[in-house]
Structure 1
Amino acid sequence: MNRATNPTVRWVRPVASIILAVVVIGIPLWLALVTSAKSQGEANLPDLSLPDSWHIGDNYRQAFEQGHMIKALAGSLLVMVPAVVGVLICGSLASWVLARRAGRMTSLLYSAGISGIVLPPAVVTIVLLLRQLGLAGTAGGMIFVYMGMYMSVVIFFITGFVRTIPIDLEEAARIDGARPLTVFVRIILPLLRPVIATATILVCLYVWNDIFYSFFVLGGGSVTTLPLNLYSVASNNLYQNNWNLIFAYVIMMSLPLLVVFAVAQRRIISGITGGAVK
């Protein structure tokens, strides 16, 4: 019976996976693409049909110019780059210490460090604290929030990877007189490239697409991000009922990281399997 059903199972599973991918990813993506190419009248009732007349150039140009995407792109990069660099530096150093030290206190610290994966941040507390520190509505405040939020992800990935690195390499460097920071920079850090690449891409995806926390932290300030700017222009009269412009903005906003993810997906998988599950 098993021999008779195995070929069927091997055939059904990939087909089911393809159908699921088409339903979950393909249909929403197709809807966004075709709607972004339609006129305002056609886009008022979004569907999967092709547009009667194509307005790709006009829609994308209007979304780019009227949506002030240059300012929003600069704001996203201003927030994302320092946040990603800071969380990777702090998280990799903390992961190295947690992976190399044993004991109950270290286990408690590790559990506390990765607890942010399942425990959502307290938004009200964060906003009140940033106001007291004078960081509300600023890029600096948003950077610190993202670093605190995604430190758990970095610690989770990198700690597991560091545990797979032989400690003999570090001991040999210490015998040669290397200090702890030198050992980390010259021995450990180069070996962490696969998992750091994975953590970098994942954190960039989280930060790039975030609107919930940026709305509370940056709302009303001079700094804006691409998702927050889309919410602002879509909620006022500029994009009211202009679903073609909204979807054109979404496509342009998502395109950079979609390309990065498509190119680096193998590195993401190798980094996850190389450290997080060990």
Structure 2
Amino acid sequence: MTAPSARRNGPGFSDRPAWTRLQPVLAVLLGLTVIGIPLWLVVATAGKSRGEALTPNLAPPTDWQLLDNLRQVWTDGHVPAAFLGSLLVVVPAVAGVLVIGSMAAWVLARRASRLTAVLYALAISGIVLPPAVVTVVLLLRQLGLAGSAIGMIGVYMGIYLSTVIFFVTGFVRTVPASLEEAAQIDGASPTRVFVRIVLPTLRPVLATATILVCLYVWNDVFYAFFVIGGRLDTLPLNLFRVASAGLYLNNWHLIFAYVILMSLPLVVVLAVAQRKIISGITSGAVK
């Protein structure tokens, strides 16, 4: 009786329940601090006048002008044309990398051999081996694709194909192969098995890959500047041009307002894909 009593009354025993209760609160506060402060800085600066926004800070604006600033950026910053340019590059690149990556991941996950292991290692090597920009630009010039949307789409697909293969291959290995075997016994071709059996089970991981690839491609300015800079406007390239122009130089309220407009489509994609992730994981758990 003495030993348990001593352990029960020992130092730190009474503090554990309180610390356990504080952990979620501290996690939420930390998340709000890390995410909320930068978000508030963007929104507050975008709502200020030019004089107040010369030195960006966390102070709220004396007179909110957020809608006026957004309207001015939308018209003077040529946002609609840049938005269409981003869609022209992002949509085919994301769709292509998801389709090709999921098909390659299915083959790599179902065939166990040394050759398949080597091919898988080569396929995911792009995650840690960044592409050489000079080589990519020279190759596109040789192919006649430099400065074109097709060349930019091909660059993005080559860069992020490794990420999709890495995510999807691990997920395919958790899907029972008996489902595919049953379809093959019924006479289904490999293409039909993939479209009717495999692809619907990949919705959760494809939603995750969609968020990641959209985030990377939509916000990319580095590769786009070297490949299509000056020939096709995307939102990041247009923001760089607008921020460097004399009219918008040091106009932080307009620059931050542009950032808000550029981020809204990503917020919509995240909201839609996140719901599909949750529903897909739930249905998979029930199965």
TM-score (normalizing by structure 2): 0.89
The reply to whether residue 252 of structure 1 matches residue 273 of structure 2 is no
Query: In the superposition, relative to structure 1, how do residues 170 and 141 fare at CA in structure 2: closer, same or farther (>3 Å)?
Result: same
The reply to whether residue 79 of structure 1 matches residue 64 of structure 2 is no
- Aligned with 2:180: secondary structure? helix
> Counterparts of 1:4 and 1:110 in 2: how far apart (Å)?
52
Determine the structure 1 residue equivalent to 2:239. Answer: 230
Determine the structure 2 residue equivalent to 1:26. Answer: 36
Question: How much has 1:182 moved relative to structure 2?
Answer: 1.4
List alignment gaps of at least 5 residues for structure 2. Answer: 1-10
**CA RMSD for the aligned pairs?**
2.1
The reply to whether residue 265 of structure 1 matches residue 274 of structure 2 is yes
List alignment gaps of at least 5 residues for structure 1. Answer: none
What do the CA deviations read for 1:102-127 (whole angstroms, capped 9, x no partner)?
11211111111112222212111111
Determine the structure 2 residue equivalent to 1:107. Answer: 117
2:249 aligned partner, one-letter code: Q
Determine the structure 2 residue equivalent to 1:147. Answer: 157
Q: How does 1:159-198 map to 2 (within 5 A)?
A: 159-198=169-208
Highest Rg: 1 or 2?
2
Contact 1:42–1:51 (8 Å) recurs in 2: yes
Of all paired residues, the percent bearing the same amino acid is 66
What do the CA deviations read for 1:183-240 (whole angstroms, capped 9, x no partner)?
111111121122112211221111111111111111121x111111101110121211
Q: How many residues align?
A: 274
Query: In the superposition, relative to structure 1, how do residues 9 and 264 fare at CA in structure 2: closer, same or farther (>3 Å)?
Result: farther
Between 230-239 and 50-59, the greater mean CA deviation after superposition: 50-59
> Counterparts of 2:41 and 2:102 in 1: how far apart (Å)?
40
- Aligned with 1:93: secondary structure? helix
Q: Give runs of ≥4 in structure 1 deviating > 6 Å.
A: 269-275
| Match of residue 148, structure 2, among 119, 138, 144 | 138
2:44 aligned partner, one-letter code: V
Determine the structure 2 residue equivalent to 1:240. Answer: 249
1:116 aligned partner, one-letter code: G
Question: How much has 1:16 moved relative to structure 2?
Answer: 3.0
Contact 1:32–1:247 (8 Å) recurs in 2: yes
Determine the structure 2 residue equivalent to 1:214. Answer: 224
1:98 aligned partner, one-letter code: L
1:257 aligned partner, one-letter code: L
TM-score (normalizing by structure 1): 0.92
